[in-house]
Amino acid sequence: MQTAILWYRNDLRIHDHEPLVNCSNKIVIPVYCLDPSLHGKTSFGFPKTGVHRTKFILESLHDLRQSLQNIGGHLIVCHDNPAVAIPQLAKKFKAKEIHFHDEVTHEEIVCEKQVIAALDDSVKVFRYWGSTLMHDDDLPHDIDHCLNTFSKFRNRVEKKCSVRKTLPTPKKLNTPQIDSPGDIPTLEAFFADYRVEPRSVLSFTGGESAGQERVRQYLWEEDCLKEYFNTRNGLLGANYSSKFSAWLSLGCVSPRWIYEEVKKYEQRRHKNKSTYWLIFELLWRDFFRFVADDVGNQIFSPEGMRNEPVSWQGNEDAFVAWQEGQTGIPFIDANMRELNATGFMSNRGRQNVASFLTKDLKVNWLRGAEYFESMLIDYDVCSNYGNWCYVAGVGNDPRENRYFNVLKQALSYDPQGDYVRHWLPELAALPGKSIHYPFFLSQKTLREANIQLGHSYANPLIVPRSFHKLKPHNLD
């Protein structure tokens, strides 16, 4: 029987996993590499993988090891660069094949090439497309023309493509007993100071089991999907949106499996705009991956996909204030503090903080995107850089110069200020919506709420001109 290496990457599951299925009639060596470069620095000097995502990855590895063991497989965890570890394993086990899911962005492609170059020529390479709802091979042949706007892409895909059925999970694997399969390190090996944040929307636990459980909970137990369209722009609590992103990003759940669950839900419970909209959002995720595949490194360039030079004048202090949630604009600060404390931020929050950084503070969007890369529990290279390009105005957005008036957004999506009060206790005594504009309030009101701007809470870095249009008449 042929021996095959199964290289796990951002696909930490056993359900709907084509490389695993195709290895299941061979002697299979499943391997994951905890590449030390994952804990290097980004170009602006942030830790490449911050504490929230590191914790999530380690938990996902424990879960994967257990799931593989349940079907007779043993996961090897190497603490090395894949280009070093995988060829050594291939030699040791006399493997003649390697199977893995494709990635589409620069660092991952370089890594793949290095692995392949370091393998013996006799090792056959099998690559698979696996992280999107739609399969790359099923897209209309001229899809490239549709990748300049999401609606063109979506219309085309909805008309011309269908979602492939999920693949069955193998019942039994044939893996040799391995003496030293490699420890999964503890989080403390990377970060000394992790603490659980009780204000988090959800306690995100990594792994396929927890991911599938979250899907079951959101759809079946709590029946939240029927309201998704109306709740999706929320900011507080576990269920305003699905929170599937962290598990999708690391491949702990397959988007096709989610699709099948949504279709079952439509048959058994409700079929409405909300059920359509969740799939619609998964198509956004697909879109950014296909765009990244199409445009290559443009998603990492300051000019983005538009390839038009933009001058970024924002300074260091402005960036640091944004990063630390100390800009003096409560809606921005609340969102950034949520990100820092939990690794998660709502989509509405992400759009606003990205717009504020790039359009109001005029800081280079790449710096914000790299900070997100470091901090997000659900970091996905294509969704992150694609969305940042979009909001910064250098992406494939048909609307020229989209701008978020942060005060307007705050008043619409957090009308009573509950979200800001949740994350900014120093402003909590300000009543109702006035918490969104302490800089417009009188000294008397601030004194009564025990707030001293510049001391207990930051003076605003800037009050954008657009805010003045919304300045309330009866402030106190």
Ligand X SMILES: Cc1cc2nc3c(=O)[nH]c(=O)nc-3n(C[C@H](O)[C@H](O)[C@H](O)COP(=O)(O)OP(=O)(O)OC[C@H]3O[C@@H](n4cnc5c(N)ncnc54)[C@H](O)[C@@H]3O)c2cc1C
Q: Which residues define the annotated binding site?
A: 228, 241-245, 281-288, 378-380
Could you give the 3-state DSSP secondary structure of residue 161? Answer: coil
- Work out whether the CA dihedral 355, 246, 55, 74 comes out positive or negative: negative
Closest approach, Cβ 48 to ligand X, in A, equals 13
Q: Do you know the residue count of the chain?
A: 476
- From candidates 265, 372, 423, 440, binder to ligand X by CB under 6 A: 372
Q: By CB under 6 A, is residue 241 in contact with ligand X?
A: yes
> According to the binding rule CB under 6 A, does residue 244 interact with ligand X?
yes
Applying CB under 6 A, which of residues 56, 150, 153, 388 lies at the interface with ligand X? 388
Residue 253: CB minimum distance to ligand X, A: 10
Q: Is residue 423 a contact residue for ligand X (CB under 6 A)?
A: no
364 touches ligand X (CB under 6 A)? no
Please check whether residue 357 is in contact with residue 320, taking contact to mean a CB–CB distance below 8 angstroms.
no
Residue 282 touching ligand X (CB under 6 A): yes
Judged on CB neighbours under 10 Å (0-12, 13-18, 19+), 229 is: middle
Could you tell me the smallest distance in angstroms from the CB atom of residue 245 to ligand X? 3
Is residue 358 a contact residue for ligand X (CB under 6 A)? no
Amino acid at the residue 381 = V
Smallest gap, in angstroms, from Cβ of residue 391 to ligand X?
A: 5
Integer Cα distance of 449 and 317 in angstroms? 28
Q: Which is nearer to ligand X, 382 or 446 (CB)?
A: 382
Strands 27-33 and 97-101: unpaired
Residue from 105, 351, 396, 409 that binds ligand X (CB under 6 A)?
351
- Closest C-alpha among 350, 419, 417, 408 to residue 379: 350
Residue 360 engages ligand X in binding (rule: CB under 6 A): no
Q: Using alpha carbons, select from 27, 26, 34 the residue that is nearest to residue 8.
A: 34
Q: Quote the CA–CA distance of 68 and 187 in Å, as a whole number.
A: 22
Binding to ligand X in span 95-124, by CB under 6 A:
none
Angle subtended by helix axes 381-392 and 347-355, to nearest 10: 50
Helix (H, G, I), strand (E, B) or coil at 398: coil
Cite the annotated binding site for FAD by residue number: 228, 241-245, 281-288, 378-380
Of 78-86, 163-171, 245-253, 412-420, the segment contacting ligand X by CB under 6 A is 245-253
How many residues in the shown chain lie near ligand X by CB under 6 A?
Answer: 29
| Residue 245 binding ligand X, by CB under 6 A | yes
Residue from 16, 12, 49 nearest 250 by CA: 12
* Distance of closest approach, residue 418 Cβ to ligand X, in angstroms: 19
**Owner of token pair 């609340």:** 334
Q: Does 252 bind ligand X (CB under 6 A)?
A: no
Return the DSSP state at 170.
P
Quote the DSSP letter at residue 358: I
Beta carbon nearer to ligand X, 322 or 388:
388
The verdict on 405 binding ligand X (CB under 6 A) reads no
Per DSSP, the chain holds a count of helices (H) and strands (E) of 19, 5
Question: 119 is written with which tokens?
Answer: 């393998």
425, burial (CB in 10 Å: exposed 0-12, middle 13-18, buried 19+): exposed
Tell me how far, at minimum, the Cβ of 39 lies from ligand X, in Å.
Answer: 18
Binding region for ligand X (CB under 6 A) out of 87-95, 238-246, 298-306, 460-468: 238-246
- Choices 292-300, 387-395, 399-407, 456-464; region in contact with ligand X by CB under 6 A: 387-395
* Closer by beta carbon to ligand X, 282 or else 299: 282
CA distances from 434 to 38, 333, 425, 446 (A): 43, 15, 14, 10
**Is 383 one of the binding residues for ligand X (CB under 6 A)?**
yes
Give the binding site for ligand X (CB under 6 A). 232, 241-245, 248-249, 278, 281-282, 284-285, 288, 346-347, 350-351, 354, 372, 376, 378-380, 383-384, 387-388, 391
